[in-house]
Amino acid sequence: MSGRGRRPTAAYIDRDGTLMRDTGYVARSAEVELLPRAADAVRLLNDEGVPVVIVTNQSGIGRGYFDESAFHAVQARLVQLLELEGARIEATYFCPHAPEDGCDCRKPGLALYRKAALELGLQSSGGLFAGDRVQDVLPALELGGTGILVAGTDGTYDGPVPARVIRATDLWTGVSGLLLGAGNSP
């Protein structure tokens, strides 16, 4: 479990339903909407010196719902909205495949995390893995890190929740609880 004030080596954060509202295969930059306090969570990680990396499954590309340029447009808008609130993303890694493609980069596969760690020079263990799906936190168990499962907008959690994974109503609550200790939210 988390210890108060323990600083992760990096934060690997899911995008849809964790940083921005998941309206289902978001493909237009005009649809991008930050979730409440998501930017605060990223900024806190920035302030603590924790590199923030987005790791996202984008099967909408593999399913033919939108192309990679649409993904990049949405991504650019998200990064812009975060930056307007003083929150910085180090890098983004995405899986463009459909589940039936059988790739090794689709979460909970580890390929994107390993690639990020290698390219960004991050320690592979001791990371923070946050998202609204179990697939987002499973890598924490495999790589030796901390998982934070955030609730959906309806307040329910994806499951089954693995032991040792922290549940939090949203990203801010989970990240601030981990870094600042519970009940210490500025």
Binding site for Zn ion (CB under 5 A): 95, 97, 103, 105-106
In whole angstroms, the minimum distance from the beta carbon of 53 to Zn ion comes to 16
Q: Pick what 78 binds: Zn ion, Mg ion, none; C-beta below 5 to 8 Å, kind-dependent.
A: none
Edge-to-edge order in the sheet of strand 128-131: 91-95, 52-57, 11-13, 128-131, 146-150, 166-168
Residue 122 near residue 103, CB atoms below 8 Å? no
Q: Which is nearer to Mg ion, 54 or 117 (CB)?
A: 54
DSSP string across 147-176: EEEEPPTTS---SSPPTT-EEESSHHHHHH
Select from 153, 20, 166 the least CA-distant residue to 79.
20
Contact 11, 45 (CB under 8 A): yes
Q: Based on CB atoms, which residue is closest to Mg ion, 16 or 40? A: 16
Active-site annotation holder among 14, 22, 40, 132: 14
- Residue number closest to Mg ion, CB atom: 17
Shortest CB 130 distance to Mg ion, Å: 10
16's contact among Zn ion, Mg ion, none, with CB below 5 to 8 A by partner kind, is Mg ion
Neighbouring C-beta atoms of residue 99, cutoff 10 Å = 12
Query: In this complex, which beta carbon is closest to Zn ion, that of residue 96 or of residue 174?
Result: 96
Altogether, the residues listed in the chain come to a count of 186
**Which residues contribute to the site for Mg ion (CB under 5 A)?**
14, 16-17, 132
Residue 161 binding partner per list Zn ion, Mg ion, none, with a CB distance cut-off of 5 to 8 Å that depends on partner kind? none
22 is catalytic: no
CB of 113 to Zn ion, least distance (A): 12
Give the shortest CB-152-to-Mg ion separation in angstroms: 9
Residue 14 interacts, among Mg ion, Zn ion, none and using kind-specific CB cut-offs from 5 to 8 Å, with Mg ion
Continuous H helices in the chain = 38-47, 59-62, 68-84, 111-120, 134-143, 171-180
Angle separating helix axes 38-47 and 68-84, nearest 10 degrees: 70
Looking at the Cβ atoms of 87 and 134, the one nearer to Mg ion is 134
Which amino acids are annotated catalytic? 14, 16
